[in-house]
Amino acid sequence: MVFKKLILVFLGPPASGKGTQAEILGKDLGIPVISMGELLRHEYNHHTKMGREIEKYLKKGELVPDNIIQKILLKRLKKEDVKRGFILDGFPRRIEQIVYLEKIKQKFLSPFDFLVVFYIRISDREAKVRVVNRRVCECGAAYHLKYNPPKKKGICDICGKKIYRRQDDDPKIVNKRLKDFHHRIKPILNYFADKNVLIEINGEQRIEKVQKEIKNKLNKFLNFV
Ligand code: AMP
């Protein structure tokens, strides 16, 4: 499907499934997924100095400061596997982060390559239900207690570790997270829409159907430009 180098960006409200969709597409295209949330949780789970700083923001459901985000992303982008393109999950999340994304684009892409942005749309009502039922594992696996529970209660199917609720999935802060999200995402979506690189996806469908819509729309986009 891909003949050019791609940077794909996945944006969407909490629990919109952007991480899941990015992983499926990344495997299919043979390019790595760089999940900002995962990179931050990795620091936090390994109790690094930066991880302790990050914890303060994750606990409150707030965005982590840009200097930390840039440091972590820069380190990840030094790895060899990004040379053929990559997927960014959850970045940019603040309008200021677009400046950094443009720098990344200049460094990695030639004028013949593409940056494409997917926005996975789900309603706030759906996001709240999903957040409350979401459980994750340190290995990156994610579960929904009703629709996609682990085979053994409380245990990850993939690595056998205990699954847990993310700190920022606390039902008490989900409304605030959603409000902040909408406030911040608007100018970001406008920016990409103006550049004609924004593709909207209906996230309220079965996982396979969402993926099909993503692939169809990406193919169409690449054939048109
Ligand atoms: P996610 O796994 O994408 O839902 O991200 C989990 C949390 O990590 C968010 O609620 C933020 O606190 C933080 N985070 C993720 N991406 C970013 C970003 N681009 N900028 C700042 N904070 C971020």
Query: Residue 3: pLDDT above 70?
Result: no
Residue having the nearest C-alpha atom to atom 5 of ligand 1: 37
Q: Is 76 a catalytic residue?
A: no
The per-residue pLDDT for range 155-210, each reduced to its tens digit, is 999 999 999 998 888 888 889 899 999 999 999 999 999 999 999 999 999 999 99
Q: What's the Cα-to-Cα distance from 155 to each of 121, 161, 209, rounded to whole Å? A: 30, 6, 27
Per mean pLDDT, which range of 56-60, 67-71, 77-81 is the poorest?
A: 56-60
Record the pTM.
0.90
Ligand 1 center from residue 33 Cα (angstroms): 15
Q: What's the Cα-to-Cα distance from 183 to each of 64, 71, 74, 168, 179, rounded to whole Å? A: 16, 25, 26, 18, 6
Query: Residue 1: pLDDT above 70?
Result: no
Q: Is 18 a catalytic residue?
A: yes
pLDDT value of position 4: 79
Ligand 1 center from residue 146 Cα (angstroms): 25
The per-residue pLDDT for range 138-155, each reduced to its tens digit, is 888 889 998 889 999 999
Alpha-carbon span 87 to 81, nearest angstrom: 11
* Catalytic residue (choose from 93, 128, 130, 135): 93
**Order of all β-strands in the sheet with 85-89:** 33-35, 85-89, 6-11, 114-121, 198-202
